[in-house]
């Protein structure tokens, strides 16, 4: 009964949120002000964000831990530690679904492949969606100030001496860039999988690393013009960006998406591994 009532409340909130949302054709994160409230209902939107396939995954070595944030609350992160204490770390940011088992599995995989500590941060404070309507509510209701506070707390947890790279998908791709800004001189690399590009050129000048942008060329929610402008703006800010293009749809690298493109995803993963290895000097 409680689950039924909760689902009904979530759907009601989703409807109310959709009624108030902008009608601009924008997906995921458009971090003009860091807000996630710019997601909209439009034809084809859910077709690119199908409900994730169920996954039964038990963490092998990683674990959820809590850490203090500056607002006197706790943040949460899934930590996949490497046996080699080399002072290298990756901050991983989830999609609009939340910190689910797919992200935890990816954290453990990346940690094993690169031999670094991977911190899969939870920007939803424990909430996870399995349906698009719920994911929309969570993403739209996420307070950018709270997300920033969580990431700052995580940076404190990782430590000031660590060399860090960031990575994220969709909403997490946008927040990978924000995390890179927040990390200052500790950041050595930033990977964005089809995240909405930052538009504030003043912020770009504070970026300490270059950027690897994994681009879905058939993405109907992040306009090609926005991606092109992002490259121009970063270059004008004196920053380097590498764009790896794939003739694929939005979220093509998400293995939980029924429209997952394994060939493109595998190739992108190799590109990312090479980039992170060089960025962190592994």
Strand partners of residue 192: 168, 213
Within 10 angstroms of residue 16's Cβ, the number of other Cβ atoms is 11
- Reported as a pLDDT band with limits 50, 70 and 90, residue 38 is low
- Reported as a pLDDT band with limits 50, 70 and 90, residue 47 is low
> Residues with Cβ < 8 Å from 259, sequence gap 6 or more?
48, 50, 249, 251, 252
Predicted model pTM? 0.86
- Reported as a pLDDT band with limits 50, 70 and 90, residue 129 is very high
195 and 250 Cβ atoms separated by less than 8 Å:
no
CA distances (Å), 135 to each of 100, 108, 150, 196, in order? 12, 24, 19, 17
Name the strands in the sheet holding 88-93, side by side, starting at the edge strand that comes first in the sequence. Answer: 63-68, 74-80, 117-122, 88-93, 163-169, 187-193, 211-216, 241-246
For range 235-245, the mean pLDDT: 97
Distance of CA 255 to the CA centre of its chain: 15
- Going from N- to C-terminal start, the domains of the chain cover 2-51+60-279
> What percent of the chain shows pLDDT beyond 70?
82
What integer pLDDT is reported at residue 117 of this predicted model?
98
Cα separation, 141 vs 135, whole angstroms: 10
Given the structure tokens 């939340």, which residue do they identify? 98
What integer pLDDT is reported at residue 48 of this predicted model?
57
What integer pLDDT is reported at residue 55 of this predicted model?
74
Classify domain 2-51+60-279 by CATH number. 3.40.50.1820
Q: Is the pLDDT of residue 22 over 90?
A: no
Distance of CA 102 to the CA centre of its chain: 13
Q: Is the pLDDT of residue 27 over 60?
A: no
Given the structure tokens 């034809």, which residue do they identify? 43
What integer pLDDT is reported at residue 144 of this predicted model?
94
Question: Could you report the per-residue pLDDT of 188-220, keeping only the tens digit for each?
Answer: 999 999 998 999 999 999 999 999 999 999 987
What would the two tokens of residue 247 be? 């003739």
Cα separation, 193 vs 252, whole angstroms: 10
- Reported as a pLDDT band with limits 50, 70 and 90, residue 54 is confident
Cα separation, 175 vs 225, whole angstroms: 20
């Amino acid at each position: 009964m409680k689950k039924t009532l909760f689902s009904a409340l979530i759907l009601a909130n989703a409807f109310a949120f959709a009624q108030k949302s902008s009608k601009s054709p924008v997906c995921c994160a458009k971090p003009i002000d860091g807000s996630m409230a710019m997601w909209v209902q439009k034809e084809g939107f859910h077709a690119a964000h199908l409900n994730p396939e169920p996954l039964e995954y038990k963490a092998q070595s990683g674990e959820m831990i809590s850490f203090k944030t500056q607002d006197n609350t706790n943040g949460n992160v899934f930590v996949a530690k490497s046996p080699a204490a080399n002072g290298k770390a990756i901050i991983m940011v989830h999609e609009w679904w939340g910190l689910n088992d797919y992200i935890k599995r990816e954290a453990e995989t990346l940690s094993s492949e690169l031999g670094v500590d991977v911190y899969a941060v939870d920007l939803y404070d424990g909430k996870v969606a399995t349906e698009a309507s719920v994911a929309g509510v969570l993403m739209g209701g996420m307070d950018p100030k709270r997300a920033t506070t969580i990431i700052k707390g995580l940076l404190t947890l990782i430590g000031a001496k660590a060399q860090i790279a960031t990575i994220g998908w969709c909403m997490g791709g946008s927040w990978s860039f924000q995390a890179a800004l927040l990390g200052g001189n500790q950041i050595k690399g930033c990977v964005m999988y089809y995240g909405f590009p930052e538009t504030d050129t003043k912020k770009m000048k504070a970026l300490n690393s270059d950027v690897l942008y994994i681009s879905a060329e058939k993405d109907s929610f992040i306009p090609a013009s926005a991606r092109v402008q992002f490259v121009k703006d970063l270059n004008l800010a004196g920053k380097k960006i590498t764009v790896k293009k794939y003739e694929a749809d939005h979220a093509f690298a998400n293995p939980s998406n029924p429209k997952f493109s394994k060939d493109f995803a595998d190739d992108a993963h190799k590109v990312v591994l090479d980039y992170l290895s060089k960025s962190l000097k592994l």
